[in-house]
Every structure is written in structure tokens, then in C-alpha cells.
Amino acid sequence: MIPDFEITVLGNTSSIPVHGRNHTAQILRFGQDFLLLDCGEGMQIQARKYKIKISRIKHIFISHLHGDHYLGLVGLLSSYHLAKRETPLTIFGPRGLDEIITTHFRWSDTKIGYQINFVQTKTDEMNLLLDENLFQVYSFPLKHRIPTTGFLIREKFGLRSLVKEKIEKKELSIEGIKSLRAGIDYYSQEGEIFKVKEYTYPLPPLRSYAFCSDTIFDPSLKNHIGRADLLYHESTFMEQDRERAGLTFHSTAKQAGEIAKLCGAKKLLLGHFSSRYAKLEGLLAEAQSEFPESELSEEGQTYVI
């Protein structure tokens, strides 16, 4: 059975929460695993609004230390404490994040009742952060004003499904079944060869999701996120504000479309919209001029990968 792989957008604005839009936060669900990508202000309110069970989150990934990407984190951790959470939590983020969090709780005299593990991300190259049974999470460098990483969630090969009609005609041992499901040809003690391609169904293509929070236009991203099934790329500005985008190390929607095309992505999801745009149709049109499979992210919307 193919596990569900989807993201729910909780916030898609940039520095100021206006026009009914909230700061960056996304819930990624892979099967029974829940991940949080960035944790902007209002994340908890949005999660409750859209009936997201935040208690199931075990791993949090923070791209960088600009407030619109992490200022909701202290509140979330505090809520976990008040709810008497016991499950350990791992937070992946840039240098200084652990100091910010621990300093807050020290000065508020809060003794967190569950284990928090901090893992510092690096901005030198692509790095494996999390290796689970069915998926992996990598960080990769983004070019922004301060150290920033994107995140790539990549599916791993699972167990193959057996062709029951063929297996039932054979007296195949448990060892043989395990071998075939793992994708390894099996040689029985009687000398019979059971080929994976004959006794199992082909595996579906592996899926991936790339999250690019804040970055200037950077063609080298293709080396890290090539051919992602779904690419979320910041599109803070329109072309009329391209100079502003460069000065603030952000991208235009058109540039996001160029990146998606360059990387060979299947679909582009736009977000991190500037507060200067009350309406977003213009950003969508500019992105689609480069990459037709572009879509505006919508808060509360779940996107299947």
C-alpha cells in the first residue's frame, strides 16, 4: 500500500501577516509521520482552524532565523509543555536557535517536561538530517541574507507487493517471501530461482517534495532538488519589484517559475507573498509565463504529492 504523502499550508505570507494571510508554516504528512516545516506566528491557531493534530508532530524543521519563519515556535513548545507532552521532539535549525529557545524558558522559569533535541543545520552542501523507514529529509543551502536552508523530503523504496497468483502455486518459504518483497532474487534450497521481476509488482516512482523558504534567484538549486514532484518556492515579489527582490535576497514569481522549469519539477507551489499585494493573480500569471504548472498556495489547502 502506497503511504499518503501530502502537505498542508498553514501560512503563506512574508514579513507582515496581512490580507488574511499568515506567516510561513507547513505540515507535511508521510503515512503516520507528521513533520512541521517552519513555524511562523499563528501556527497553532491555523492548525486548530484546519483540524491538524499538532500533538503528532515529532520533528520540526526551521529554515532560518527571520521572525516570520520561527516566532511561533516558543508558543508551540510551551503548549506542548502545558499539555504534558511526553514524546521527545527533535528540532532541526540553524545555529543560535537552541540558544533562543533555552534562553526564553530559562528566563520564564519554565522546566519543560519532555525531551527536546536540537540538531544544527549546515549551509555548506546537501546534508541528510533524518532517515526514516520510508522517507529521508535533507537540508540544502539557500542564498538569503542570513544562513538559510531549504528542505527536501524524499521517499525511499518500500517493500514490494507480491503477485499472489504466482506465489500461491509455489511452496515459497517465509525467507523467500521476505527476500522478494525486499527486492532481492531468491534462490531456494532446491536450486529454483525466484526473480523479483516475475513474482512482484513494479514499485511506483519515488516521490519528493522541495521546500525553498527564502532565497534569491539561484539556478544552482537544480543540483539539489532536480525533478521534484512538488516544489514550494518563495515568490515574494512581482517583476515590477525585481530590484527590491534582489536587494532583500528574495525572488519574484517569474523567477520561481524559471527555477521550476530549470529543475524539471512537475508542479510549482508559490508562497511567501509580500504584504504589498492584496491580490495575487498577477504573481500567478508571471510564474505561469515561465512554468505553466504553477499554483498559488492557499492556507488550509492540502496538496498531495
**183 and 50 together in one domain:** no
Same domain, 169 and 57: no
Judgement on whether residues 84 and 207 belong to the same structural domain of the protein: yes
Shared domain for 49 and 143, answered yes or no, is yes
Of the three residues 199, 218, 250, the one that is the final residue of a domain is 199
Q: Are residues 138 and 10 in the same domain?
A: yes
Are residues 173 and 210 both part of a single domain? no
Q: How many CB atoms lie within 10 A of CB 177?
A: 16
**Residue 142 and residue 232 in one domain:** yes
Mean pLDDT by 10 residues, the chain (305 residues): 91 96 98 97 98 97 98 98 98 98 97 98 96 96 98 91 84 87 87 89 91 98 95 98 97 98 98 98 98 98 97
Do residues 230 and 258 both lie within one domain? Answer: yes
Burial pattern 214-225, b for ≥16 Cβ within 10 A else e, equals: bbbbbeebeebb
The predicted structure's pLDDT at residue 103: 98
Site of grid cell 522478494: 180
pTM value is 0.91
173/112 same-domain check = no
Q: Looking at the 3D structure of the chain, how many domains does it have?
A: 2
Which residues on neighbouring strands pair with residue 304, listed in sequence order? 6
Rounded to whole angstroms, how far apart are CA atoms 74 and 76?
A: 5
CATH of the domain at 134: 3.60.15.10
- Please provide residue 102's backbone torsions phi and psi, each rounded to the nearest 5 degrees: -65, -35
Cell of 130: 533524518
Q: What is the dihedral of CA 153, 38, 241, 246, to 10 degrees?
A: -70
- Residue ranges making up the domain that contains 146: 5-158+203-302
C-alpha cell at 73: 515556535
Q: Are 243 and 122 members of one domain?
A: yes
182, 192, 187, 132: which is closest to 161 by C-alpha? 182
Look at residues 166, 163, 123 and name the one whose alpha carbon lies nearest to residue 144: 123
- Judgement on whether residues 229 and 259 belong to the same structural domain of the protein: yes
Looking at residue 137, its pLDDT comes to 98
Tally of CA atoms within 13 A in the half-sphere of 119 that contains its CB: 17
pLDDT at 3: 85
Q: What is the structure's pLDDT at 1?
A: 66
Judgement on whether residues 185 and 210 belong to the same structural domain of the protein: no
185 is catalytic: no
As a whole number of angstroms, the distance between CA 292 and CA 152 comes to 22
pLDDT at 171: 77
> How would you list the strands of the sheet with 294-296, edge to edge?
127-131, 135-142, 148-155, 208-212, 230-234, 268-271, 294-296
Round to whole Å and give the CA distance between 268 and 228: 9
Determine the residue type at 292.
P
Active-site pick, 38, 68, 218, 229: 68
